[in-house]
Amino acid sequence: MKKQKSSPTIKDVAEYAGVSIKTVSRVINDSSEVTETTKKKVLDAIEKLGYRPNALAKSLRIKRTYTIGVIISDIANSFFGNVMKGIENVAIKNHYNIIFANSDENIEKEKMYYQFFIEKQVEGIIIIPAPGSQSYLKKHAGLIPMVFVDRKPKDWDGIVVKVNNEEGAYLLTKHLIEVHGYRSIVFLATELDIDPVGERFEGYKKAMEEANLKVRVIEGNRTIEDGCKAIEKVLFSNKPQAIFGCNHVMTLGAIKATKKYSLEVPRDIAVVGFDDFESGDVLRPYLTAVAQDPYKMGEYAAELLFKQITKNEFIKEKEIIIPVELKFRESCGCLYVSNKVVS
C-alpha cells in the first residue's frame, strides 16, 4: 500500500520539536516573545521536515490572501507586457502575488475570470477592459478595489489610468497638416468602439475639421495583415497623402501595404501612428509616432490599487492621465538624423 506523501503541517513540526502549535506559529509569524533555545528547536524541526506553511489555510483564517487579480486583454502585445511588468513590480514590493488572466479581447472571458478572481478571494483587481460592456460588475458593486488601465470600462464608473489619446492624435494630425501640408489623411482604426481608438479618432477628426479637411476612416481589424489589406484598397482609387495608424499594429500594416506596391514612405506616402515600439527608432522608415509609457501606466495603476487595499484610501480622481510624447522621426516626412554621428 502506497502511503500518500502529504506535506508536513504545523502540527507535525510542533510534535517533532516537542512544543505546542502556538509556539511554532509564533516563530513563523511574530518571531518575537520566544526563547532563543525553543526558537532554534522549532527552526530545526522546520528544516528537518521540510515544512512550508499552507498559505490557503492561513488566508482562510486571517481573511487576507495577499493576492491581486490582473486581466490583460492581450499579453502577446508588448505594450500590455510592459503594463504587466509595471504592475508586477509594485505588487511584489507590497508582498502581493498576482493571479493572471488573458481575456483575448473577449468580454465573456473577462467576465468569467472576474468570477474566478472573486472566488479566489483576491484583494483587488486590475483590468484592461475588453470591448463590450462591463456591466457585469454591477452585481457586486464596490465589493473590491479595482483599477482599469488604458481603456475606460463601459457602463461602469471606475478608476482608469490612461493617456490623453485625443490630444496625442490631435497634435500629430495637426503636425501632418501644418508642417507637411498634407490635405488627405486616412485614419486606420481597429475597432472604433474600443475606448482609446475612438478617442484617437476624435483627435484626428478635430484636427481635420479645424482645417476643413475631409475625414476618412477605415476599420482594419486586429492583425498587421488585416491593416495591410484595408489600406491596399485606398492605394489606387483615391490615394491619400498620409495614413494615421491607430496603434502600432495598424501602422505596420499600413507600411506593409505601401511596400507591397513599391511605394516609398514618406516620399510617396506618409505613415504615422499611435504607439512607439522598439524597432521604430532602428529600422526604416524611422517611425513618427505618439509614444506612451506602458510600464509607468502599470506601476501607477498598481499604486492606486494598493492605496485602496492597504491604506483603505478613497481615490477621488476617476481618470489619471499619463502624458504622451510625440516622436518626430522620418515616416511623416521630417528629416531625422539623431541616430547618426556624422551626416
Q: Which positions touch a copy of itself (CB under 8 A)?
A: 6-7, 50, 52-57, 59-60, 63, 65, 67, 70, 74-78, 80-82, 84-85, 88-89, 92, 97-102, 109, 115-116, 118-121, 139-140, 143, 224, 249, 252, 255-256, 259-262, 277-279, 281-285, 295, 339-343
How far is Cα 68 from Cα 49, in angstroms, rounded to an integer?
31
DSSP notation for 77-94: SHHHHHHHHHHHHHHHHT
Nearest approach in angstroms of CB 70 to a copy of itself is 7
Contacts of 217 (CB under 8 A, 6+ apart): 186, 187, 188, 189, 192, 201
Confirm or reject binding of residue 19 to DNA (CB under 7 A).
yes
Instruction: Identify which of residues 58 and 183 has a Cβ nearer to DNA in the complex.
Output: 58
The binder of 29, among DNA, a copy of itself, none, by C-beta within 5 to 8 A per type, is DNA
Look at the block and give the residue holding cell 479637411.
Answer: 213
Q: Which of 2, 3, 16, 20 binds DNA (CB under 7 A)?
A: 20
Q: Which helix (H) or strand (E) holds 257?
A: helix 248-260
Nearest approach in angstroms of CB 110 to DNA is 23
164 Ramachandran zone, left/alpha/beta (phi>0; psi -120 to 50):
beta
User: Do 160 and 153 meet the contact criterion of CB atoms below 8 Å apart?
Assistant: yes
How far is Cα 142 from Cα 154, in angstroms, rounded to an integer?
16
The binder of 238, among DNA, a copy of itself, none, by C-beta within 5 to 8 A per type, is none
* Region of 6-14, 144-152, 177-185, 198-206 interacting with DNA (CB under 7 A): 6-14
Confirm or reject binding of residue 23 to DNA (CB under 7 A).
yes
Confirm or reject binding of residue 57 to DNA (CB under 7 A).
yes
